[in-house]
Amino acid sequence: MAHDDAAFLARSPNRVAVLGALAEEPMTRRELRAETGASRVTVGRVTTDLERRDWVRRTGQRYRATAAGRAVVTAFERLLDTTATTRRLAPLFEHLPLDAFDFEVTRLRDAEVVVPTPTAPARHVDRLAELFRGAGEVWMVVHAMAPRAAAASYEAAAAGDHVTHGVVTPNVLDAIRETDEVCEQIRELLAEGAMRLHVRPAVPYQFGLYDETAALSADDDGVPEGIVVSTDAAVTEWTRERYDALRGDATPVAPEDL
């Protein structure tokens, strides 16, 4: 889409609304007024402007979008969607592993953005613990594990059917060994099959899949700045596929390894 075309649409939400409506189906001016809420004068002016650009054509009383018009409005709406998504994710956007995603970032348009605050510095960790407790099965890839996350996994397993699958780094195992209580809990979970850990030298990013809810960690030099939580199918599919790929060359962890 040329710059002047984008500017032409950006200057008038009514142009976007009318062209978008006509991209769906042919309409009369009366139907366009009902669909867009624009006035009779505005609809008349907009359809004339769009005809001049050959984005719509008129047959009798009905207007329809041309192939060019449909392509233009689709691209423009995608731009608006992308802009809105990046704005929503702004606190964490630059720290997400964007290059690794095989889905459009707009799939995160409705995601929950969880960032720590001065009054709630562990807000994102608390949210992860909440996801742990509410899930029957968890898949996680991490290079650090907060004690409360380990506790949440133990509590979930004790409360009923729950399995945690993890691909972790040696640092995570070292951290588990540092606290006797946590170490004993993890050993118990491993022995019972309620936790299945695999270790590899490093992981490229951190994420978790809690049943059908994905949590993507936004890390700055390895330090989590917050998480993005999504139930979008493309996002959850990506997390599961990446988990399987990273587990493929990882080594299983036995209770006696801790």
> Could you say which of 30, 52, 85 is where a domain stops?
85
Q: Are residues 98 and 152 in the same domain?
A: yes
| pLDDT for residue 144 | 84
Q: Specify the residue for token string 């984005």.
A: 55
Domain boundary among 54, 85, 116: 85
pLDDT at position 1, please?
54
d(C-alpha 32, C-alpha 18), whole Å: 7
Of 204, 203, 190, 198, nearest to 251 by C-alpha is 198
Q: Assess whether 70 and 122 both reside in one domain.
A: no
| Residues 64 and 178 reside in one and the same domain | no
Taking the C-alpha atoms of residue 204 and residue 222, their distance in angstroms, rounded to an integer, is 10
Same domain membership, residue 185 and residue 57: no
17 and 102 share one domain = no
Alpha carbons within 13 A on the beta-carbon side of 57:
6
Render each residue's pLDDT in the chain as its tens digit; 258 residues: 566 778 888 899 999 999 999 999 999 999 999 999 999 999 999 999 999 999 999 999 999 999 999 999 999 988 888 898 899 898 899 999 999 999 999 999 999 999 998 899 889 989 998 998 889 999 999 998 776 677 777 787 777 788 999 999 999 999 889 889 889 989 998 998 999 999 999 999 999 999 999 999 998 877 788 999 999 999 999 999 999 999 999 999 999 998
User: What CATH number did the domain enclosing 72 receive?
Assistant: 1.10.10.10
Q: Are residues 249 and 180 in the same domain?
A: yes
Rounded Cα distance, 47 and 14, in Å: 10
Tell me the residue range of the domain where 253 lies: 90-257
Q: For tokens 């995603």, what's the residue?
A: 101
d(CA 32, CA 12): 15
Decide which of 44, 59, 85 is a domain's last residue: 85
72 and 182 together in one domain: no
Q: How many CB atoms lie within 10 A of CB 160?
A: 7
Does one domain contain both 43 and 61? yes
> Does residue 115 sit in the same domain as residue 220?
yes
97 with 181, same domain: the answer is: yes
Same domain, yes or no, for 70 and 125? no
- Angle subtended at Cα 182 by Cα 178 and Cα 183, rounded to the nearest 5 degrees: 65
The pLDDT, as a whole number, for residue 147 is 67
CATH number at residue 174: 3.30.870.10
pLDDT number for residue 22 = 96
Strand pairing of 213-220 and 207-210? Answer: antiparallel
Instruction: Please state the domain count of the chain.
Output: 2
Q: What pLDDT shows up at residue 97?
A: 93
**Residue 125 sits in the same domain as residue 23:** no
